[in-house]
Amino acid sequence: MREIDVKEITSAVAELCVEANLRLPCGMRECIEHARAREESELCRSVLGDITDNLDCAEQLSVPICQDTGMAVIFAEIGQDVHIVGGDFEEAVNRGVAEGYVNGRLRLSIVRDPLDRVNTDNNTPALIHTRIVPGDTIKLVVAPKGFGSENMSRLKMFTPSATKEDIVKFVVETVSIAGSNPCPPIVVGVGIGSDFEGCALLAKKALCRDLRIRHPEKFYKDLENEMLTEINKLGIGSQGFGGTQTALYVNIEKAPTHIAGLPVAVNIGCHVTRHAEIIL
């Protein structure tokens, strides 16, 4: 049994919150640069150039890539042979979020209640998704989620009679309705299967996949490419100025579901779809 002190967890989360907000994950910048090379609109090529300039400035000046530094979403995979000592795990994570956001001078965007709208002043509580897995390590993924893109997300409970074409149409329709609101070029996370809440979680996890990695199953890899092609026919373009590169990638995650259902969720990420991770 390996012991990990909660202080180590707090420190790691604090660092990841800052890291994710200052630098894009591996592959994301390259995707934006490739989109610029493929873009047919001169105006949108200029916009994509401004976006990469902004990425450079954020790193050089140690300031956030975007003013919306997001709600802290944490994916934690805890090895079953780990003994967490020194305190409570979720309290440690939230302390880390508070330290990262306050000391890192990141915007504090969380309100204590959805209706009274009073700010918690430290960006907590975080949204924590925990899984117990084999091993003696803890993997933490911090994925700050801005709400310009989050607000554009949708979920539909299809019946099993729905076709592949119905699902593609729903995903493309979701992006069309979103228009320029999620600050394209976007990343589209699609969850297929599970149940109501599980499907939405699949779509959120899809946004954390390295964009250089396609789905391992050919059917879903082809479906990702088909959705991407159809989305880029919409002509929304970078920041809504038209053009051929509305989305950078579509990532699909799927899971078993009930014989009577076929849930599909779409979670949209903006051009700063952020996440950072560590293994303790």
3-state per-residue secondary structure call for the chain: CEEEEHHHHHHHHHHHHHHHHHCCCCCHHHHHHHHHHHCCCHHHHHHHHHHHHHHHHHHHHCCCCCCCCCEEEEEEEEECCEEEECCCHHHHHHHHHHHHHHHCCCCCCCECCCCCCCECCCCCCCEEEEEEECCCCEEEEEEEECHHHHCCCEEEEECCCCCHHHHHHHHHHHHHHHCCCCCCCEEEEEEEEECHHHHHHHHHHHCCCCCCCCCCCHHHHHHHHHHHHHHCCCCCCHHHCCCCCCEEEEEEEEEEECCCCEEEEEEEECCCCCCEEEEC
> What confidence tens digit (pLDDT) does each residue in 98-151 have?
999 999 999 999 999 999 999 999 999 999 999 999 999 999 999 999 999 999
Residues 180 and 253 reside in one and the same domain: yes
Domain enclosing residue 7, as ranges: 2-21+65-145
Residues 141 and 15 reside in one and the same domain: yes
pLDDT for position 59: 87
Residues 97 and 197 reside in one and the same domain: no
Q: 120, 145, 170: which is the final residue of a domain?
A: 145
Residues 10 and 84 reside in one and the same domain: yes
pLDDT for position 6: 98
pLDDT at 25 over 90: no
What percentage of residues in the chain have a pLDDT greater than 70? 100
Residues 9 and 127 reside in one and the same domain: yes
Residues 83 and 169 reside in one and the same domain: no
Look-up of token digits 């996440």? 275
> What confidence tens digit (pLDDT) does each residue in 164-215 have?
999 999 999 999 999 999 999 999 999 999 999 999 999 999 999 988 889 9
Identify whether the C-beta of residue 165 lies closer than 8 Å to the C-beta of residue 264. Answer: no
Q: Is residue 225 part of a domain?
A: yes
Q: 110, 130, 145: which is the final residue of a domain?
A: 145
Residues 95 and 199 reside in one and the same domain: no
Over residues 37-64, the mean pLDDT reads 93
Of 25, 252, 251, the closest CA to residue 143 belongs to: 25
Counting beta carbons within 10 angstroms of the beta carbon of residue 237, is it exposed (0 to 12), middle (13 to 18) or buried (19 or more)? buried
In the chain, the number of structural domains is 2
Residues 176 and 202 reside in one and the same domain: yes
Residues 10 and 122 reside in one and the same domain: yes
Mean pLDDT of the chain: 96
Residues 266 and 157 reside in one and the same domain: yes
pLDDT for position 160: 97
